[in-house]
Amino acid sequence: MKRLWTFFSRMDLGFWLLILTSLNLFVGVMVTTCHETLFKKLNFMNLPAWIQTVAARPGLYLWMITLFVLLLLLAVNTAVCTTMYTRTAVRQNRLTERLGIILFHIAFVIALGGHCTSEFIGLSEQITIDAGTTTRVPGTGLAIETVDVRKLTSTINGAEARLGIEATLKAVAPGEPAVPLKIKTMEPQFSLGYTFHLSFMDKGLTEDQAQLIVRRDYGLMLIVLAGITSLIAIVLYVRFTLRERRSL
């Protein structure tokens, strides 16, 4: 156990794991560029469910498996190194100067946890809504009554600029009163434990139709926490750590 702890507390391990992760992600860039449509579906599916649909083509997902292994090792390495680093900082009474770095590493581990939660247990459904009709959202028990859909366009310098889509809806959950929703592209709304988004994509749809995305993602809370923590860490890093290093 002690040898394992010593192994994971090595900084050079972190360096090489990050380099390998970067290379692995770049392989992913190549694969996703060549199979864009297939990977777009993954944004609205759990990873295990998506892998089942492409199980016969390992070339599409092997890089994801190696990526998850690398990220897991990186998370363990980060946690161990940060623990050691914090211990040293406390012992040397230099916690303030190093708090930015410590918080940044904690934020990284939280972000990884958040993304992992999103990929494995997040729920996301994309449905087509049509003005004057009611549509069920699979897997949520929700029904969406579409009151109105409006496409915002403007002619600028002779070209059509698409400025978004607006929709007036009512979300109905079993046994609960209908909740009115007025949403727009780029302006999602949170209600009934879900976030409701209007998609930009309206290819092949009529003027009264739009794509609605209904999402429940607990990983998002961790991602938000990680984002805020990393911004605080950056402020502390610039304020204390860089100043300390410059004065050395």
Binding mask 227-246 vs other proteins (x if CB under 8 A, - otherwise)? Answer: x--xx--x--xx---x----
Minimum CB distance to other proteins smaller for 36 or for 177: 36
Q: Does 34 sit near other proteins (CB under 8 A)?
A: yes
Q: Give the contacts of 108 (CB within 8 A, at least 6 positions apart).
A: 78, 226, 230
**How near is the Cβ of 162 to other proteins at its closest, in Å?**
6
Minimum CB distance to other proteins smaller for 34 or for 132: 34
Q: Does 213 sit near other proteins (CB under 8 A)?
A: yes
Minimum CB distance to other proteins smaller for 106 or for 197: 197
Q: What is the DSSP letter of 239?
A: I
Using the structure block, give the residue that is written with the tokens 């012992």. 91
Tokens of 143: 């029904």
Q: Give the contacts of 110 (CB within 8 A, at least 6 positions apart).
A: 222, 225, 226, 229
Using the structure block, give the residue that is written with the tokens 């780029």. 186
Q: What is the DSSP letter of 45?
A: S
**How near is the Cβ of 26 to other proteins at its closest, in Å?**
5
Q: What ranges make up the beta strands (E) of the chain?
A: 123-130, 134-137, 142-156, 159-172, 179-184, 189-191, 194-198, 209-216
Strand 209-216 and strand 134-137: the pairing is: unpaired
**How near is the Cβ of 206 to other proteins at its closest, in Å?**
19
Q: Does 124 sit near other proteins (CB under 8 A)?
A: yes
Contact set with other proteins (CB under 8 A): 10-12, 14-16, 18-19, 21-23, 25-26, 28-30, 32-34, 36, 39-40, 42-43, 115, 118, 124, 152, 156-157, 159, 161-165, 185-188, 195, 197, 199-200, 213, 215, 217, 220, 223, 227, 230-231, 234, 237-238, 242
